[in-house]
Structure 1
Amino acid sequence: MSNLLTDDFEPSSAAAWKQKIQFELHGEDYKTLLTSTNEGITIKPFYHSDDFEKLEIPVPNEDFIFCKHILITSEEAASKTALNSIKQGIKSLKFIVKKEFDFETVFSKLLNKEVDFQFEFSFFSPIFISELAEKLKNETVYFNIDIIGNLAKTGNWYKSFHDDFKNLESIIQKYPTNYCIAVHVDLYQNAGANTVQQVAYAISHVNEYLLKFGGEIANKIQFDFAIGSNYFFEISKLRAFRYLFNLVLNEYNTKAEPKVFAQPSLRNKTLFGTDLNNLLRSKTECSSAVFGGANTISIESNNSFFTNPIELKENDLNSFILLKEDSAQNSVTDSYYIESITKQIAEKALEIFKEIEKGGGFLSQLKEGTIQRKIKENAQKEQQQFDCGELVIVGANKYINETDTLKPNLSKNPFKEKKSHKTLIIPIIPKRLTEKLEQKKWRNET
């Protein structure tokens, strides 16, 4: 007698499964179970090897590392925080730089420790960056200069189109071993772009740099992605990007492993239940980044959108260490579902990329306002879905804790409108989905 617990089941084809589903639906068409997302991605009720097509996606050569953000307000304090983070096992430090600082003091005890140094500048000073590069010439450095991203975010160049590109070119030529350029895809996600748009804009954005400086600068670029809460779609997003970036580089007769910096999205973070809900969201998003193939993953404070970066708690660090160990034991590369989503995102993003190039390129469409309009349209769609409860953010529009108050978290009104200023183009503004609810609650509490 055969053993039902150990014998293999007879294989069934995809067609057989569809027939069975149709039978269970009492004759209803199988297609009634297909669903479509905002991006136009089709989700099926089951996935089968008959329909499986595996894409050749470049994977990172090295294991991912975690990154800690440090806002430089005091050089001594920044150096101390950095040193403590290194002792905790952090392998990447991202310095948030609002103005020129005394880097001799900051880095006096930080060199030769096998740590990556990342920078996020609020200004673009080629002289200061050159001096900093000399100090860190024996270290792995990411300057993350994104003059196009700054235009998209602020509406203006740092100085002018000509000066910004000229200054960036001088840094690239002078420091060829550093990662000088960044493509801040996180801006598009945090402003409301969907996964397909993010991938398309990442490719179009970087193509402007490739056209200007040539394919040889491909290995000097880091891509900053924000990771949302749609777990499998975020994994697929990063994989689709890697696939398309490789495709684009083929046109330049070059190859490079894309460096991906991933951080939790701001778009779904709330001022409600900050210590728990945002933390859980951030850790889930970091998990997506791990399996999506990110090189560096930010473990920044879950409430960083309304407070300065804070010291990482030991319990939080331990949870990320567990995530790293768990990722070594698991793989998503053979998931029919993820492969299907990856392929669809890549195909649709490639279509958008081609449309942008036909329309004159990414810079041209930014100046025309086309990119901004497309992002705004998707953001408004998501906002409507959130407002009616179709898109759920726990603690905000579902499972609400009525005792939550904003006052313990905030010392001043975070909803004051910023002063408008003259811009060359319409800036792309990040916006969280819960802001309208929070504004209402703030008014009621004050």
Structure 2
Amino acid sequence: MASQKLFEAFPTLTSKEWKHKIQAELKGADYNETLVWESLEGIKVKPFYHNDEFENNVTVHTSVSEFKILQNIFVHDVAKSNEKAKNSLSRGAESIRFTIENEAVAITELMANLPLENVTYYFNLPFLSKDYCAALNQFATANKANFIFLNDAIGQLVAEGNWFENLEKDFENLNTITKTSAFPFLSIKSGIYQNAGANMVQQLAYTLAHINEYFNRIEKINHAITIEVAVGTNYFFEIAKLRALRILFDALKKEYDYTFDCHIVATPSKRNKTLYDYNVNMLRTTTECMSAILGGANAIGNLAYDAIYHKDNEFGDRISRNQLLVLKNESYFDKVNNPADGAYYIETLTEQLAEKALALFKDIEANGGLITQLIEGTIQRKIKESADKEQELFDSGKEILLGTNKYPNKNDKMKHELELFPFVKQNPRKTLITPVIEKRLAEKLEQDRLALEE
């Protein structure tokens, strides 16, 4: 009864009445020009959203309680990687993503004495080998392990400009793997689109077209597809992006009579990370991980605050893992499923992103599909156009990275801290297509600052 009286004390106002009040407060300024802004995706964002203007509830099942804390491990030394995996799992990690450089890595040595129950192990493979997948499959089956293989031949073409071998051979290998694998074996490395500067509509459409190429070229897929996404700093848009991705995937899979779900693995973007005032990167990755959780990612591998200029190190890994532990165990982000349901703003963004991405996807398919448009250079050109727009906003100060193009600390010195080269690497080589190049917004500014350091 108390709650009923409380709500009765406040009369219901229509959106028209709210707009009238806002217009009065603006004292003659134009409502649309002053308060409505347009995103890089062409979405006009209003200052408020009201239920009398909201027609459809966007149904997206996001089981937030299932999200797992993922630790990334690059396997250079098998014994050290094994120890690092054990240590990470004992300190809060719930799943491991091994990046294996070559087929010489022995699975039995890498997995020695690692816990197998309730832990998912991802194997990021920068090579395509049906024999190695068979070895992984054999080990996992014999030991009742939960493995996910991350093979992406199209992702190799996008990032490197060449197939592993060639189109026919790569898909022949993938068709062999799908017939023998008892575990998910296919990944969509869509993070490259975000890190290269594609807007969210492009990211979704290119990811969907990426998936559709596999649906068309692989005879029968029997397991969930893993989609590896990069999450940027536009908080509510990123929540909506992941929700829209599930809507689009569900719509596409029905056309092929598939029933499996997609498995989303999220990682914070590198595009907005900075060399100077690097501790701000922790704030950026925190909000990005929050977006990933609320958007419904199944697993989240955080990015260390110093990842762009330091080699893997225990401190950076621990801090990045602890950020997720705080969100999960102290901020209770894993306690409510479908947390964005009923939020008019997020649901409206979800619907608009999905609709715009679907229209772009249809255009891509009408013009030959993703691979054809990559060979023609259309995808690369569109990403560059979007990236240039965002770069212009950064260069003009309209898009702000605190500590870098706003309130920089002039006393910061980074020249002697660089263990990794933090800028785009020039690697001239013969390629089938122009590769999609990841590039951070602050690179030019940072290079200029480094050149002035004594």
TM-score by length of 2: 0.92
Counterparts of 1:80-95 in structure 2, within 5 Å, are 80-95=83-98
Whether the 8 Å contact between 2:64 and 2:294 is mirrored in structure 1 is no
Please state if 1:239 is matched with 2:243: yes
Deviations 1:37-83 (A, max 9, x none): 11101100111011222112233486100100111111110110001
> 19, 28, 36: which is aligned to 2:38?
36
| Structure 2 letter corresponding to 1:47 | Y
Residue in 2 aligned with 1:140?
146
Unaligned runs of 5+ in 2: none
Residue in 1 aligned with 2:196?
191
Residue in 2 aligned with 1:426?
434
Shift in Å, 1:329: 4.7
Runs of 4+ in 1 over 4 A off after TM superposition: 2-7, 26-29, 312-316, 411-417
Residue in 2 aligned with 1:335?
343
Residue in 2 aligned with 1:16?
17
Residue in 1 aligned with 2:265?
261
Give the Cα–Cα distance (whole angstroms) in 2 for the partners of residues 337 and 109 of structure 1.
48
Shift in Å, 1:338: 0.6
Please state if 1:208 is matched with 2:213: yes
Shift in Å, 1:287: 0.6
SS in 2 for 1:69: strand
Deviations 1:310-357 (A, max 9, x none): 335656544322211421356222211111111111111011001001
Whether the 8 Å contact between 2:209 and 2:369 is mirrored in structure 1 is yes
Give the Cα–Cα distance (whole angstroms) in 2 for the partners of residues 411 and 91 of structure 1.
29
Residue in 2 aligned with 1:164?
170
Give the Cα–Cα distance (whole angstroms) in 2 for the partners of residues 129 and 289 of structure 1.
29
Give the Cα–Cα distance (whole angstroms) in 2 for the partners of residues 391 and 240 of structure 1.
25
Cα gap change, 1:412 to 1:143, in 2 (>3 Å): closer
Residue in 1 aligned with 2:367?
359
Shift in Å, 1:187: 0.5
> 101, 110, 113: which is aligned to 1:109?
113
Residue in 1 aligned with 2:253?
249
Give the Cα–Cα distance (whole angstroms) in 2 for the partners of residues 88 and 28 of structure 1.
55
| Structure 2 letter corresponding to 1:251 | E
| Structure 1 letter corresponding to 2:82 | S
| Structure 2 letter corresponding to 1:83 | K
Over the aligned positions, Cα root-mean-square deviation in angstroms equals 2.2
Residue in 1 aligned with 2:80?
77
Whether the 8 Å contact between 1:235 and 1:288 is mirrored in structure 2 is yes
Whether the 8 Å contact between 1:228 and 1:234 is mirrored in structure 2 is yes
Deviates more, 1:240-249 or 1:26-35: 26-35
Counterparts of 1:48-87 in structure 2, within 5 Å, are 48-52=50-54, 53-60=56-63, 63-87=66-90
Shift in Å, 1:151: 0.3
Cα gap change, 1:442 to 1:223, in 2 (>3 Å): same
Shift in Å, 1:181: 0.6
Cα gap change, 1:40 to 1:151, in 2 (>3 Å): same
Quick one: percent identity of the two aligned structures? 39
Give the Cα–Cα distance (whole angstroms) in 2 for the partners of residues 410 and 21 of structure 1.
51
Whether the 8 Å contact between 2:64 and 2:335 is mirrored in structure 1 is no
Deviates more, 1:190-199 or 1:400-409: 400-409
| Structure 2 letter corresponding to 1:203 | L
Cα gap change, 1:396 to 1:139, in 2 (>3 Å): same
Cα gap change, 1:111 to 1:26, in 2 (>3 Å): closer
Give the Cα–Cα distance (whole angstroms) in 2 for the partners of residues 172 and 192 of structure 1.
32
| Structure 2 letter corresponding to 1:49 | N
Give the Cα–Cα distance (whole angstroms) in 2 for the partners of residues 440 and 206 of structure 1.
40
Give the Cα–Cα distance (whole angstroms) in 2 for the partners of residues 283 and 135 of structure 1.
36
Whether the 8 Å contact between 2:308 and 2:420 is mirrored in structure 1 is no
Give the Cα–Cα distance (whole angstroms) in 2 for the partners of residues 61 and 392 of structure 1.
30
| Structure 1 letter corresponding to 2:19 | K
Whether the 8 Å contact between 1:332 and 1:338 is mirrored in structure 2 is yes
Give the Cα–Cα distance (whole angstroms) in 2 for the partners of residues 314 and 406 of structure 1.
22
